[in-house]
A and B are shown apart, each in its own frame.
Chain A
């Protein structure tokens, strides 16, 4: 023991401050995880079916998938819930934000999300996912814990995963979104459909015979099967040739272009005499590309005669017509999307596959003030056909539910849903015989309109009044894709 007079060791103010900060941080972090543990352990309570949803909730894409899920859950729960062996169960959703709509976000976010939902939140089933590479990394985790996982948005490689070790791991995975086994044939035909639709709607303003087409695919797993090595090595190249196009350029476009501008890429396309740009994109980088395309000066001396090329293709972001700058493509692209024709899946717009589509559209719009996004009809349907499978299995065990889910034959707003032997979605999307999509285009009034073509051989659409075939829509100060100001005109839908 030191004598009473001995000096106590000094602790500097800085050291004391550091100790206090460290203690506070440790206490805070520990408390947070303790709280998470306590709250998550109660998430699978009695008479609750907990569905874990790993989604990119930091983007409009994930938010609207969650909206569709919540809409289904509220409707099912208010109608009495799910009857499991005579007992009523209520659906409950637990989410994890994987941030995966941003291509730079690592795959690990999704893996830790699924692990957390299973081990911390004790979910019964999983639904969600978006980016193919992220979902592919999540699948083994779900299978390892014997959890049924219905995926949406992602596609590439899922059927291979299911088919490779079906009995042990693959059986737990279902692809709730359109699978693209004939992806390239569809993507080859879509420009023809879109151009035909445009010609039929605006014949007096459509004079250019478009043959020179450039294909820009975002750098992502789902575009690799289509873009391949690019140029003549692309699987899409011979298909585009066979339907009458001259593919002048097929390649990936960078997610972050040099200096933050796509101008040099557009200069290359102009130099190649590009008359149409075919885009394949599902990420959040497209507003910049479309904005640059809109602002670009195509000049008077380009190989295409100084005419601005048409922009067409698959662009998930183009579906969003919300009211703010973060979810309205018209605002996001500085109005440049007026020259972009894209395709969407019903009921992104209020015309429909069957009599259930418009009610779903209306309920969604009423609840959230937005139109449903590309996979919302599918995720909405999934809660209903999962409920059917649970009721037949009389169990919440994934192993018990899987055989019944595999036999799904459900009619919802997206048509009749069934699953293939590798759990790929088989959906009867009549009246669209070969292309499960319709065309869309933003117009100068800042609204998104449908496009359809006589190439869709059975155009017996069920449409809301304002979009019904045969009705008319007026445009003010309409500007053609080549920059010509047409002025006011009315077009028959």
Chain B
């Protein structure tokens, strides 16, 4: 093994891009609608269980099951958003109610699936790992990284360079003024929720086949999404990539530099996030503006 540099670079890059895919929808939704949707991570769990249900329990074709699962995740995402907007419109109540929805979904799936251990879904990609710079890498994470990069570029082009993207940005800047100019703010929000839900569902489709399903599996991706968003600056989705890289590289540098310190990498990750909240509350994306 070529020292610790190669695994830090390889895993830092691949997992950084994986974190981008997990966090992109969360930070996009906050950037446009200014609400913290804490039910976001639960959609990851919903997608995973739905793929299992249709592909394994009902025996559907895997790709069809994936399509149905993504559609259901989008439906749940939109439903939760609309209920929160209707009954808990201010940001704090939205945050609380959406978190309650995440827990509600967790307990619903625990009861329905009995929280069974050993639920796994068939993977879309080969499991045998390959070597990149003498570092063992799962094809799952290579594909995930590629998809993350692609979606980030597509999303950036959509928001920055299309007519619809301009209306989205206008809505994000000042929804009341946008509405005065005839922009359908409500439909803009709905489109963003659909995209946001689809993004976390796609992350689940790619990553979950490597994992066992549990009703609490939404917590980790949610935490990643939240920490990446804080580091990048809440709502500044363009800064998701550097924020995710900062998180993943700091984790792997610590992990390989201090291999016997079991939880040190997680401590560092949260330390970095807290540091940004204290020192740079606007995140990386706020540095330029602050100056």
Residues of chain A touching chain B, judged by Cβ–Cβ distance below 8 Å, are 57-61, 99, 101-102, 104, 219, 230-231, 249-254, 256, 258-261, 263-264, 266-268, 270-272, 284-285, 287-288, 291-292, 294-299, 301-303, 325-327, 331-332, 334
Contact = CB atoms under 8 A, between A and B. Distances in A.
Chain B CB within 10 Å, residue with most, of A254, A284, A295: A295
Contacts of B18: 259
The size bracket of the interface on B is 35 or more
Contacts of A299: 1, 131, 134, 136
Interface of B: 1-2, 4, 7, 11, 15, 18-19, 56, 110, 114-120, 127-131, 134-138, 141, 207-208, 210-212, 214, 216, 219-220, 248, 251-252, 255-256, 259-260, 262-263, 265-266
B260 A251 contact: yes
A267 B135 contact: yes
B262 A301 contact: no
Contacts of B110: 58, 99
Report which residue of B131, B141, B214 has the largest number of chain A beta carbons within 10 angstroms of its beta carbon: B214
A32 to B, nearest CB: 13
B214 A102 contact: yes
Contacts of A259: 15, 18-19, 141, 207, 248
Nearest to B130: A297
A284 B117 contact: yes
A385 B288 CA distance: 74
Given A259-B15, A264-B255, A267-B1, A61 B7 contact: no
Contacts of B214: 102, 104, 284
B186 to A, nearest CB: 18
A175 B56 CA distance: 39
Contacts of A251: 259-260, 262
Nearest to A334: B127
Contact of B117 (A60, A250, A270): A60
A193 to B, nearest CB: 26
A253 B261 CA distance: 10
A104 B214 CA distance: 10
Question: Which of A260, A270, A331 is the most central at the interface, judged by chain B CB atoms within 10 Å of its CB?
Answer: A260
Given A259-B15, A295-B127, A325-B56, A230 B1 contact: no
14 contacts: A58-B110, A101-B117, A251-B259, A254-B266, A256-B220, A258-B251, A258-B255, A259-B19, A260-B211, A287-B118, A288-B211, A291-B210, A297-B131, A332-B212
B80 to A, nearest CB: 17
A291 B121 CA distance: 13
Residue in B18, B210, B252, B265 with the greatest tally of chain A CB atoms within 10 Å: B210
A72 B120 CA distance: 32
Contact of B210 (A256, A258, A261, A303): A261
A287 B259 CA distance: 22
B118 A263 contact: no
B116 A59 contact: yes
Contacts of B127: 291, 294-295, 334
A6 B4 CA distance: 83
A284 B11 CA distance: 25
A58 B119 CA distance: 11
